[in-house]
Structure 1
Amino acid sequence: MKKLFCLMLCLLLFLVACSNGNKDSDSKENKGNKTYTTDDGSKVKIPKNPKRVLVLTANYGNFKKLGVKPIAVTSVFPNSKYLDMSKVKKIDPENVEAAAKLKPDLIITYKENKNNKKFAKIAPTVPIKVQDMDYKETHIEMGKLVNKEAKAQKQANKLSEKLAKDGEEIKKEIGNDKTFSIMDVQAKDIYQFGPRFGRGSEAIYEGFNLKEDPKAKQAMPKEKFMKVPKEKFNTYSGDYLLLPTKDGKKPNNDFVKSNTWKNNKAVQEGNVIYYSMNEAIYADLISVEKQAELFKEELLKHK
C-alpha cells in the first residue's frame, strides 16, 4: 500500500512538472519579437503577441472581428453603427505626443502619414498602403500583425464564399449584364468610386462580382476615384446607381432636381440605392458583410 502511494505521488509530481514545463514553453513562445515584412519589402520587428495596439487607419473593424481591442484608433473617420465605436478612444493620427502617452507596443499607420519615423521611435510601426490589398487580404494581414493569421484566413474565406453565393443569387434575379456605379452626388461636385475604395465597392465589385459601368471603368484613374463633370454623369452611370449620403437618404440639392438627373436611366427605372456614408466608408469584414446585406436586400427589391 505504501509503495502504491509513493508511486502515485511520483506520477502526480511528474504530471505537474510536465504541465509547468508546457506553460513555460508556451510563455516563452508567446513572448519576444518577430519580423514582419511590409508591402514594399521593408522589415519591421514587432511583438509576437502585441497587447497595446494603436490603429491610426480605418481598420478598427478588422481587429474587432479578430477579438482584439485597440488602445485607440484614428479620429479622422466617423463612427459606424456597424462597428459600435462610441466607446473607443480616438486620437489625431498625426499627433505623436498623444500616441506616446498611450504607450503602445505596436502602431499601425498609413504609409502616407508624415510622422511615421517619429511613431517608430515610440513603438514598432507598420505603415500600410491603401488599395494595395483587397478586403480579404487586408484582414489576413491584420491577423498576421496580432498573431491571429489562421483565424483571419478562416473569417475572410467564410465571408468571401457567402458573398460569392449572394452575388450569384442577385445576378440570377437582375441579370448577368447589369452594370453598377458608385457616386457621391454633392451640391457642386460629383465623385465616382471604383473597386477597393470603400463606399460599398468591396461588397459590390469584389464580393458580389458585379460589373462596373464600362465607360466609367475605362476613365477611372489608378487611384480608383474621380471627379465627374455633370455633363458626364449619365455617361458614367450604370444600370444601377449607388449613392452613399450623409443621412442615407436622397440628396436635397439642385443637381437632383435637374433634367440631367431626371433623364438618368437608373433614376427613371427606380434603380437608385441610397445608404449611409458613415457605414460605407469602412472596408473591414464586419462592415463589408453588413453593407452586402443591405445591398442584397435593396437589389432584390429593385428587380
Structure 2
Amino acid sequence: MKKLLLPLLVLVVLALSACGNNTNKNAGANSSTSDASSDTFTYQSETGPIAVPAHPKRVVALSGYAGNLLALDVPLAGVDSWTKGDPNFKDQLKDVPEVSEENVESILNVKPDLIIASTDIKNADKLKEIAPLVTYTYNKLDYLTQILEIGKAVNQEKKASDWIADFKERAQKSGEEIKAKIGADSTVSVIEGDSKSLYVFGDAWGRGTEVIYQAMGLKMPDQVKEMTAKAGYYDLSLEVLPDYMGDYVIYSKAPAADASFQQSSTYRNIPAVKNNRVFEVDANTFYFNDALSLDYQLDFITKSLLGSK
C-alpha cells in the first residue's frame, strides 16, 4: 500500500507543478496583453487627452497634414484628394489610396490605426469609431509648432524638433543671402488667383508666406500688411493689384487658371512685372505649410530671388 502511495504522491506533485507553470504562463500572457495595450500613450490634444498608438503603422492624413508625416517617415494608409494631387508628393504617395471624410467607408477600408485631420472635419464621430482621431484648428498654432505637435502625436517629437531647428537655420541663412542681394528694404508679395479673382496673402497662409516673412524675415508691403492683418488674406481686383505688388512677387498660379489679366496694360506696367521680378509657381505645390511643402517653397523662393536681376 505504501508502495502505491508514493507514485500517487509524485503524480500529485507533478500535477501541482504543471498547474503552477500554467498559472505563470497565463500571468505572462496577461502581462504581454498589458504590454500590448500599453503600446499606446496619451497625447494631450487640442480637444483633450486621447490614447494613440506608440508606433502608428497605418495613418490616415486628411486636411493637408500628410507632408508632416512623410517628413517624419510615418507610414500612411490614406490621404485626402488635395494632398494626393500635390506634385510634391507624387512619388511618395503613388501607392497610398485617396480617401475622403465624406466617404467614411473609404477610410474604414484602409484600416487606419490613427487619423489626423482638422477640427472642422466632417463625420468626426464616425471616424472616431474607426481609429483614434487627432484634430487641429487651422492656424491656431504657428506653422512650426504645428509640425512639432504632429510629431508628438505620432511619438516622433525629437525628429520633428530636429527638423524644425534645421529648417530655421537654412531659412535664416537664405534670408540673409537674399537681403544682401536684393536689399533689406525690398518688399515681396505673394499673390494667387486668375482673371476672375485675385488674392494677396499675409504672413501665415501657406503659399510660401511663412517661409518669406517669418523664416526668412523678408519685408511685406505696408498695404498688404494692413489689409491682411485680420483675415490673413485679401481679395482684390485687377485695378488695385499694382498697390499690393511688392518689388518682388511670388505668383502661386493654378495650371488651368485663366490668367488673361497678365496681358492687360494694368498688369504689364507694374514695376515688378516690367523688371521680370514675378516668379510663377504651380499653385498645387504651394498651398500647404507642412514640412515637405516648406522645404520645396524654401528652395523655390531662394533660387528665384537669388537668381533675380
TM-score bucket of the superposed structures, by smaller chain: 0.7 to 0.9
Equivalent residue for 1:176?
A: 184
Matched, 1:209 2:221: no
- The structure-2 alpha-carbon separation of the partners of 1:164 and 1:186, relative to structure 1 and needing over 3 Å to count, comes to same
Equivalent residue for 2:98?
A: 90
Structure 2 residue matching 1:298: 3-state secondary structure: helix
Whether the 8 Å contact between 1:79 and 1:86 is mirrored in structure 2 is no
Instruction: Name the CA distance, whole Å, in 1 between partners of 2:197 and 2:136.
Output: 29
Pick the aligned partner of 1:232 from 217, 240, 243. 240
Pick the aligned partner of 2:121 from 113, 118, 137. 113
Instruction: Name the CA distance, whole Å, in 1 between partners of 2:171 and 2:285.
Output: 18
Equivalent residue for 2:11?
A: none
Matched, 1:293 2:299: yes
- The structure-2 alpha-carbon separation of the partners of 1:212 and 1:146, relative to structure 1 and needing over 3 Å to count, comes to same
Matched, 1:187 2:195: yes
Structure 2 residue matching 1:172: 3-state secondary structure: helix
Matched, 1:45 2:51: yes
Equivalent residue for 1:35?
A: 42
In the alignment, residue 176 of structure 1 is paired with which amino acid? A
In the alignment, residue 194 of structure 2 is paired with which amino acid? Q
Instruction: Name the CA distance, whole Å, in 1 between partners of 2:234 and 2:132.
Output: 35
Q: How much does 1:30 deviate?
A: 8.9
Could you tell which deviates more after superposition, 99-108 or 157-166? 99-108
In the alignment, residue 44 of structure 2 is paired with which amino acid? T
Could you tell which deviates more after superposition, 75-84 or 118-127? 75-84
In the alignment, residue 289 of structure 1 is paired with which amino acid? D
Q: How much does 1:148 deviate?
A: 0.8
Whether the 8 Å contact between 2:188 and 2:218 is mirrored in structure 1 is yes
Structure 2 residue matching 1:169: 3-state secondary structure: helix
TM norm structure 2: 0.82
Q: How much does 1:29 deviate?
A: 8.6
Instruction: Name the CA distance, whole Å, in 2 between partners of 1:185 and 1:264.
Output: 17
Equivalent residue for 2:154?
A: 146
**Identity across aligned pairs (percent)?**
33
Pick the aligned partner of 1:258 from 259, 264, 268. 264
Structure 2 residue matching 1:275: 3-state secondary structure: strand
Equivalent residue for 2:26?
A: none
- The structure-2 alpha-carbon separation of the partners of 1:114 and 1:81, relative to structure 1 and needing over 3 Å to count, comes to closer
Instruction: Name the CA distance, whole Å, in 1 between partners of 2:205 and 2:264.
Output: 28
Equivalent residue for 2:86?
A: 80
Q: How much does 1:101 deviate?
A: 2.2
Whichever of the two has the greater Rg, that structure is: 2
Equivalent residue for 1:104?
A: 112
Q: How much does 1:55 deviate?
A: 0.7
Matched, 1:124 2:132: yes
Q: How much does 1:153 deviate?
A: 0.2
In the alignment, residue 35 of structure 1 is paired with which amino acid? T
Match runs of 1:153-168 below 5 Å? 153-168=161-176
Matched, 1:280 2:289: no
Matched, 1:219 2:243: no
Equivalent residue for 2:75?
A: 69
Could you tell which deviates more after superposition, 217-226 or 112-121? 217-226
Whether the 8 Å contact between 1:36 and 1:44 is mirrored in structure 2 is yes
Instruction: Name the CA distance, whole Å, in 2 between partners of 1:172 and 1:30.
Output: 56
Match runs of 1:54-65 below 5 Å? 54-65=60-71
Instruction: Name the CA distance, whole Å, in 2 between partners of 1:256 and 1:75.
Output: 29
Matched, 1:241 2:222: no
Moved over 6 A (4+): none
- Give ranges in structure 1 of 5+ residues lacking alignment: 1-23
- The structure-2 alpha-carbon separation of the partners of 1:294 and 1:42, relative to structure 1 and needing over 3 Å to count, comes to same
Q: Encode CA deviations 1:64-105: one digit per residue, 9 max, x unaligned.
A: 111112111112345333322333211123221221222222
Whether the 8 Å contact between 1:178 and 1:239 is mirrored in structure 2 is yes
- Give ranges in structure 2 of 5+ residues lacking alignment: 1-30
